[in-house]
Structure 1
């Protein structure tokens, strides 16, 4: 007989799926509400970068712990969830980030010379500046991760839109959805752009900044390399200082994006509708200069929303209101299993980790 769901999870992106899976690990049933297709909102695409490098040592440690959870779940689910080819970072911030990583400890990271850089990143043009290799970083297999987790959760994931939720006078959480009304012990909201809206219903004002982003995918010229690392380029040597890139499974395609986003008004409209096209053109120009191993004509465009917090592009936090938890931040895919376990603990009444509270400004 199926368990009665105790916890509502709003949003079946990677954070919601990981939260529900972490609850299942504990023997707690959940219902995951998703108005669209699981993993096709802010979690869409074929790859993300798993990297340990951050400016906040607390987030480095959180990420280090999260890498172990990714490995544990990969073994259990029988799938490669993160590639083993590492992440290469370029630019003037390398020495400082290397110092932070080494101070935290437990992360195999080191500088690399131009010869090793060519071996790790055969798609890259000649580069002689500061470079480091995060050996335990790699490309997150996003579609595999989403499909494996959703498959493991089965009927717990339902197609339904949450309209509102609130704490009741008798200690439960009421969820009103398009399909009806249910009560739960607790609720976790990780609904991307919808998180701030739902938080306002319980009197919380989340400082989430919505924006739009574009990422392009390019074919690799010739035979795919046996090894190709993810890339973070902050050097400016090729005309841009905020570039990230990751290979698709099989290394035949490589996704490239700029860290810049396009401003979005509160009503969801663009302040400059042409800005996404301009970002696409800049990414194409960067590929022509920096990545001669790629055909510079993109084969895919991914447009998506971004929800960031004011203190950092890697900022993340969880707000709490009477057993309802609202998770928000940017670049959360890599953190999702570790964050999911923390949210599961909080939903079951074990307390929210202090570093995840907004006052901690993690990131």
Structure 2
């Protein structure tokens, strides 16, 4: 076993907290640095989609591992973390991804006819499109997950902003935050939009494309349905070809976003400030056309950063050097449990495995 027993994690989003949990399982002393409210950055909001479907079979396998760990966490923390409402996917990707799921085996995904969609998505208009349901998918209870993992970290959570990460001649890594100077055996950087700047301090240059995104939440009309599946709509039937949605706890509202993002320039500035408002209005228009079971006036609007890698919207990778591991990618909430264990292994000197950037994890064949 490695002697890297004191590990710092920078960033208390879902990936950072999952990494801290995995490190604690290995017996490490863990410090998690977070400048804001844990889980309130890229991990913010009330729900995320857990899905098995990906273009890369390796991501399907990672999702399978993550789903098992989500269940372990539910048992350990005594709270539901992924709903059993399922995920409905519409459009051409169904025909491409369903064979990958079938080949993986053991995943309860199947094609459904158009007249069966209403049983999974009672708030949606009728649609004639290729459709499948991932019955083992569902809505991630993001707030409950963050809360449970923060409690797990306990006093190891430091509310401060990290300014510098610096390897020392003693073989440790120095972290300087606003009111803290500390030495650690290893540092894992999971800092979202702040990752690239910290990575450069140790000579690492992950090719992160910083973008911005908007997601709006709409109230369900009438009584909440007993089942309300997540949605991935690539059909174009309602004027948009990249829509995702997930119910909030209790199925009383539905968070809807377009997969499209807006350009961010140097210094982290949104190039066209009106572009986020335009995405928000397009999401509202989609709701009016496709989801009549929702009130089209949103009850909440969430803005967040997106950190994408060049080979895929689902891409993820890690880089290592000088006692530091840096991770970057997009659409990571569902994969956080397995990703956290992989990053903990990397921190203990066991290599990056499939997270090596050369693996291009998430890319289609």
| TM-score of the superposed pair, with normalisation by structure 2 | 0.97
Matched, 1:193 2:193: yes
Residue in 2 aligned with 1:137? 137
Residue in 2 aligned with 1:175? 175
In the TM superposition, 1:251-330 aligns within 5 A as 251-330=251-330
In the TM superposition, 1:74-223 aligns within 5 A as 74-223=74-223
Instruction: Check the 8 A contact 2:202/2:322 in 1, yes or no.
Output: no
* Cα deviation, residue 170, structure 1: 2.2
* Cα deviation, residue 132, structure 1: 0.2
| 3-state SS of paired residue (1:250) | helix
Pair 1:5–1:176, CA change in 2 (3 A) = farther
Residue in 2 aligned with 1:60? 60
| 3-state SS of paired residue (1:128) | coil
Residue in 1 aligned with 2:356? 357
Matches of 1:37 and 1:31 in 2, distance apart? 16
* Cα deviation, residue 5, structure 1: 7.1
* Cα deviation, residue 163, structure 1: 0.8
CA RMSD between the two structures? 1.1
Instruction: Check the 8 A contact 1:64/1:106 in 2, yes or no.
Output: no
Instruction: Check the 8 A contact 1:85/1:137 in 2, yes or no.
Output: yes
* Cα deviation, residue 194, structure 1: 0.6
Matched, 1:14 2:9: no
Instruction: Check the 8 A contact 1:315/1:362 in 2, yes or no.
Output: yes
Structure 1, unaligned stretches of length 5 or more?
A: none
Matches of 1:137 and 1:188 in 2, distance apart? 29
- More off after superposition, 344-353 vs 31-40: 344-353
| TM-score of the superposed pair, with normalisation by structure 1 | 0.97
What is the CA deviation profile of residues 10-56 of structure 1, one whole-angstrom value per residue up to 9, with x for unaligned ones?
Answer: 00011111111111112212000000110001000000000111111
Instruction: Check the 8 A contact 1:30/1:156 in 2, yes or no.
Output: yes
| 3-state SS of paired residue (1:276) | helix
| 3-state SS of paired residue (1:179) | coil
Matches of 1:241 and 1:47 in 2, distance apart? 21
* Cα deviation, residue 351, structure 1: 2.1
